[in-house]
Amino acid sequence: MERRTYHHGDLRGALLDAAESLVRERGVDGWSLREASARVGVSPSAAYHHFASRDVLVRTLADRVLAGLGRRMANAAARADPAQRVVAAGRAYVRWAVEDPSVARLVFRGGSAEPAAAVTPHPHDVLSAELDRLAEAGVLSASARAGAEYVVWAALHGLATLLVDGLVHVDGPRALDREAERLVRTAITGLSHEPPRPVPRTGPRTRRYD
């Protein structure tokens, strides 16, 4: 990490980058702020002019990384066969987690830097959008659609975390995709066969990765 000037230029961004590498290499907590500073070529205390604490650094990084997941899901849905959009988004979710488990753990751990963080597009929202399509297409009734994003999200998130934490193991990307697809397919057909409810469901509230 060469540095020709006394002032760094973009120390804040560089620290986030270093932290992301360290998370990837050694896990969410397997590194120190001092180490990240050293990697950037700066004294330990320099970081405190950009982040109030190590924890804020980590949570800011989590926010930054989460947006990438949302984009990946949206892209996957966009380039998929119209009948497969949700499935594609779901597959992207768990693939992302498995490809980079440490970073995924970082994000899943929750706790955002800014409460009103504008993470766009948020995974929850791309799931919601796809389910809206399904409702318009008539495969989901109004009552089944209400809160449906939470059942799909829960299923995906569950598989992703079980894999990422090593609680469950699948061998190979093919099997992984199959499992993710089965999950969202099961959820969708389950929802579509749901007995109609009198009052539209409300479901959980205040989704946030914050």
Partner DNA sequence: CCGGCCATCTTAGCGGTGTTCAGAAACCGT
Partner DNA sequence: ACGGTTTCTGAACACCGCTAAGATGGCCGG
CB of 105 to DNA, least distance (A): 17
Distance, in Å, from the CA atom of 206 to the CA atom of 150, rounded to the nearest integer, reads 11
Q: 114-153 mask for its own copies (x: CB under 8 A)?
A: ---------------------------------x--xx-x
Distance, in Å, from the CA atom of 131 to the CA atom of 125, rounded to the nearest integer, reads 10
Question: Within a 10 A sphere around the Cβ of 107, how many other Cβ atoms?
Answer: 24
Distance, in Å, from the CA atom of 110 to the CA atom of 25, rounded to the nearest integer, reads 20
Nearer to its own copies, 20 or 210 (CB): 210
Q: Does 194 bind its own copies (CB under 8 A)?
A: yes
Q: Does 39 bind DNA (CB under 7 A)?
A: no
Tell which positions 43-72 bind DNA, by CB under 7 A: 43-46, 48-50, 52-55
Nearer to DNA, 49 or 169 (CB): 49
Q: Which stretch binds DNA (CB under 7 A): 32-40, 79-87, 103-111, 152-160?
A: 32-40
Nearer to its own copies, 5 or 202 (CB): 202
Peptide bond into 196 cis (omega under 30): no
- DSSP, residue by residue, 23-59: HHHH-SSSS-HHHHHHHHTS-GGGGGGT-SSHHHHHH
